Amino acid sequence: MAEKVVPTAKPVIVIKGLTKIFTLGKEKVAALNGIDLEIFPTEIICLLGTSGSGKSTLLNMMAGLEKPTKGSVTIYGERIDKMSERKLALFRQKNMGFVFQSYNLLPNLTAIDNVSLPLAFAGVRRKVRTKRAKQMLKLCGLGKRMKHKPTQMSGGQQQRVGIARAFVATPKIVFADEPTGNLDTHTTIEIMEMMVRMARENKQTLVIVTHDIEIAAYADKIYHIIDGRISAVEDNRDKQIIPASSTSAEPEAEQQKNEDDKPSIRSADDEISGILENFSIETEDKSENNTEEE
């Protein structure tokens, strides 16, 4: 499925009549009320809404973390809402990356190990995945924090590790739920630009959840969500914030370094795709073995 060539016209994610009703005792809370939505390849979209409007619920359902009460979620032609836990794990491993508001790094692992985690789950050899994780961390401006554990890093640094982890296996889709919710304005800009730039360069689909219009400004398309419904769809391409060249994402400390030393996204990307060719073959093998076993 990962190999399937998707024509630009065909949507990556198709959501139809998605409804989620939470039952708390006798009370019923309708978090989502019949959402219809199509997301196309390489699109950067934003789900914008106030607190409690149901943005996170929608995102979780797209990722298969929660089952809908009604309606369907189809990604690459596969019904996410009908998938078994096992298949979902594999599907997420191959197609999805996640950036969380609270970073969700494993506390006992170093930055490198955290970033290489998705590759480890996919069965990539330690040497290969460590090399790849180091490249990712450098791209995210954490060349000097590789051996640090999450508790030894600031929130912004932790989120960079989180982004590196989400993008390390070049998933087709990256989900980000309030990725800058815990960060100050300056860092928010750095983080947003980094994510958008990466998604663009790798031609990935990026789904961002936020209540902040400033952040929504980075998206191609903004879905306004009120009380579990899409109230408006806004094409943002003309007023969109387009991140400056790659250098802007580098923190000051890194910028003082010698220009030659600095990894450019392009050259690093070539290397990455080289590694990833091997990697995707490996995951394919793995998944086949896996389904046979189970």
Partner 1 sequence: MKIFDVIGFALSNFLRRKARSALTVLGVIIGTAAVVIMLSIGIGMNKGFEDQLSSWGSLKEISVSEKYGTYNEETDEYEENTSRVPLDDITLDDIKALDHVQAVKPGIYGYGAYLIKDGKEKCSQGGIETVDAATMADFEYEILIGRLLNEDDVGTTNFVMSYNIPFNFYNPRELGENEWFAPVYTGKNDTELPFDPLDENIKYQFTWWYGYGEQPMDFSRPRIVLEDAKCVGVLVQDKASVENYNQDYDFSIYMDGKGYRDMNDRLQKNRNKYYGIPEDEASTGTVYFVNGVNVADNTVEGRETVYDYLTVLVDDTDEVIEVSKEIMDLGLEASSQMDTLEQVQEQTKFLRTILGAIGAVAFFVAAISIANTMVMSIYERTREIGIMKVIGCKLGDIRGMFLVEAAIIGVTGGVLGVGLSYLMSMLVNKLASGGAMEMFGIYSSESAISIIPFWLDIVAIILATVVGVISGLYPAIRATRLSALEAIKNE
Ligand X SMILES: Nc1ncnc2c1ncn2[C@@H]1O[C@H](COP(=O)(O)OP(=O)(O)OP(=O)(O)O)[C@@H](O)[C@H]1O
Query: Is residue 26 near ligand X by the rule CB under 6 A?
Result: no
Query: Is residue 160 near partner 1 by the rule CB under 8 A?
Result: no
Q: How far apart are CA 199 and CA 205, in angstroms?
A: 7
Give min distance, CB of 38 to Mg ion, in A. 22
Name the binder of 24 from ligand X, Mg ion, partner 1, none, CB < 5-8 A by kind: ligand X
For ligand X, the closer of residues 31 and 117 by Cβ is 31
Name the binder of 294 from Mg ion, ligand X, partner 1, none, CB < 5-8 A by kind: partner 1
Exactly one of 20, 94, 132, 197 binds partner 1 (CB under 8 A); that residue is 94
Query: Is residue 165 near partner 1 by the rule CB under 8 A?
Result: yes
- DSSP letter for each residue of 74-102: EETTEEGGG--HHHHHHHHHHHEEEE-TT
| Alpha-carbon dihedral 225, 229, 232, 236, rounded to 10 degrees | 40
Query: Is residue 49 near ligand X by the rule CB under 6 A?
Result: yes
Give min distance, CB of 14 to ligand X, in A. 20
C-alpha dist (Å) from residue 172 to 81, 91, 116, 153: 19, 11, 17, 28
Secondary structure of residue 281 in the 3-state scheme? helix
* Residue span binding ligand X (CB under 6 A) among the ranges 53-61, 106-114, 213-221, 285-293: 53-61
For ligand X, the closer of residues 102 and 248 by Cβ is 102
Q: How far apart are CA 177 and CA 57, in angstroms?
A: 10
Look up residue 70 and give its two tokens: 């009604």
Exactly one of 35, 57, 95, 254 binds ligand X (CB under 6 A); that residue is 57
Tell me the pairing of strands 205-210 and 173-177: parallel
Tell me the pairing of strands 44-49 and 221-226: parallel
> Under a CB-based contact definition with an 8 Å cutoff, are residues 206 and 196 in contact?
yes
Q: How far apart are CA 136 and CA 239, in angstroms?
A: 30
- The amino acid at 236: N
Query: Is residue 118 near partner 1 by the rule CB under 8 A?
Result: yes
Query: Is residue 180 near ligand X by the rule CB under 6 A?
Result: no
* Residue span binding ligand X (CB under 6 A) among the ranges 49-57, 83-91, 255-263, 283-291: 49-57
Query: Is residue 170 near Mg ion by the rule CB under 5 A?
Result: no
Query: Is residue 197 near ligand X by the rule CB under 6 A?
Result: no
2: which DSSP letter?
T
Binding site for Mg ion (CB under 5 A): 56
Binding site for ligand X (CB under 6 A): 22, 24, 29, 31, 49, 51-57, 211
